[in-house]
Structure 1
Amino acid sequence: MVHVAHQSKIIVTNTLPKRMQNFITALKAEHIKKKGTGIFLLSMILGAISPLIWALIAIFNDEPQKRDALPYDFFLNVIERLLDIFAGFFFPLLIIITVSRITQLDHKNGGWQLMETQPIDKMSIYFSKFTMILAANMIAILSLVAFSFIGGGLASLFIELPDAAQFTFDAGAIGSLILRLFLASILLSAFQYLISVIIPSFIWSIVIGFFGLLSNLFLIAFKVVPAWYPFEILLKISKFKKGSEMGYWITYSDSLWHPRALYWVQVVQAQKL
């Protein structure tokens, strides 16, 4: 019995490094394949659009500022004001385009069929593609934060700021928003990943994703948005900017999304087995 247990332990320890090595190899291959697609550049642009638009509007529409407001972090306030448009439109739009573009590379080149002949296990290949999607998401979020500082700094040179505005860096609050936006993007990315793998057409996968995005806007107007709706999950970040009412960074609903995302990625793998 001791000998059997010792053998199984050796098998486990030898399998894990090999699987990790397969994942790294697949990730490097995905990085090479995405060159020339402009995916990461698009992420940076869509993350920067809303801060730059806000800065232009703030400069040319200088409104009188309240003098009796409580002290607040000026840059954090800019980021929070941009969450509605970013989490409600630009970010989900980016996810739809990015996921469809990455999966289309394999639909176009027959990569899904050639996967059967690859020496690397399928789980490593699927999760390497999904990792590239999540990397694009993080670039967009960091771009939003960076250009909020740039846009806010430029706007402060031309507009009159209230006395309560403070030029500080609230690392905790900003880090919380970055983390929550990234975690919320996982579910929508997995959902769109499933659609884009099943449907080989690049156009139709985008159309379906865009229809889901527009449907969310209509559901919001009629106030009948289901709590589980993937697009609504991103908007919850803008509704609960400070996190949980109990003082936690991550809300209770945030913690329930990730098992669903993992399930959908596994469904994607099952579809191509």
Structure 2
Amino acid sequence: MIVQCLHAEWLKLRHSRFWYILIILPIISTFIGSINYYFNQGILQNEWYSLWSQVSLFYGEFFFPILIAICCSLIWRLEHFNKNWNLLMTMPVSLPNIYLAKLFTISLMLLFVQGVFFLLYVTAGAVIGFSTSLPKELFGWLIRGWFAGVAISALQLTLSMVIRSFAIPIGISLCASFIGLGLYVLDLGIFFPHSLLTLGMGVISQTGLPSLMNHIAFFLINLFYIIISFLFAMEWMRKKDVFA
């Protein structure tokens, strides 16, 4: 049944223009970060690492969380129109399959976005003319960023499910990005999903997560947010009898 749910989500999204967003936002963040690096090479002298600090700052702190929020609002958008919730709840589909199909679909989107961002980063470095090799931590940053993005997606999916407005969950995500940055500065980033994205991608400090215990804590806390979001969504859908 989960396969059919995934197919249904794909059918709803494949003709949507949101695919442009998945490419445009990484392009904008990479372009801004690359320009900032190019005009500050006197200070930023560590080539790939310095470039990463600039492009990932705009991407990981602002554009990526906003992109996640847009995807989550979009994937619930059809259900919030014309009493489609009532139709969905009468279909022979389990509630977990509905939610997990949407989360899995968004997870694949985010994997695609991370791949686009990787190509843009490498292209920017090649255009600038770097002579050193790519950072050995690069794929770790991308994978951890993807996993933190999935945790944020789980939260945003639940939020977009409860709130019918398309824009309000996106605004909440933007506010959460600033909160996450503040908690990161206060060394409390391990406890907040948007801060975990900052930590995982080495946005501000490329030293990232130096110890094995920190890596384990990173994945466990993100998994905790995914499970809590899923359980809350299931409880809300079971108790919500009519979606008018």
Q: TM-score, normalised by structure 1?
A: 0.74
SS of residue matched to 2:93: coil
2:76 pairs, out of 103, 108, 122, with 103
Matches of 1:249 and 1:144 in 2, distance apart? 25
Is the partner of 2:211 in helix, strand or coil? coil
Give aligned-pair identity as a percent. 19
1:146-193 Cα distance to aligned partner (Å, 9 max, x none): 10111111122xxxx5xxx41x355x5222112100111122111111
Picking from 173, 196, 209, the partner of 1:209 is: 173
Change (3 A) 1:56 1:244: closer
- Residues 1:30 and 2:9 are matched in the alignment: yes
> What pairs up with 1:1-273 in 2 under 5 angstroms?
22-59=1-38, 61=39, 63-64=41-42, 74-75=47-48, 78-156=51-129, 165-166=131-132, 168-169=133-134, 173-217=137-181, 223=186, 227-237=190-200, 238=202, 239=204, 241-246=206-211, 250-273=215-238
- Higher gyration radius (CA): 1
Structure 1 gap ranges (5+): 1-21
Aligned to 1:15: none
Which segments of 5 or more consecutive residues in structure 2 lack a partner in the other structure? Answer: 239-244
Residue 240 of structure 1 deviates from its aligned partner by 5.4
Matched residue SS, 1:205 = helix
Residues matched between the structures, number: 236
The question of whether the paired residues in 2 share the 8 Å contact of 1:242 and 1:249 is answered with: no
Instruction: Tell me: CA distance 1:246–1:213, structure 2 relative to 1, closer, same or farther (3 Å).
Output: closer
* Rounded Cα–Cα distance in structure 2 between residues aligned with 1:48 and 1:104: 25
> Match for 1:268: what amino acid?
A
Q: Is the 8 A contact 1:47 1:142 kept in 2?
A: no
**Distance in 2, Cα, partners of 1:249 & 1:150:** 31
RMSD: 2.9
Q: Which residue is 1:9 aligned to? A: none
Q: Scaled by the length of structure 2, what TM-score is found? A: 0.82
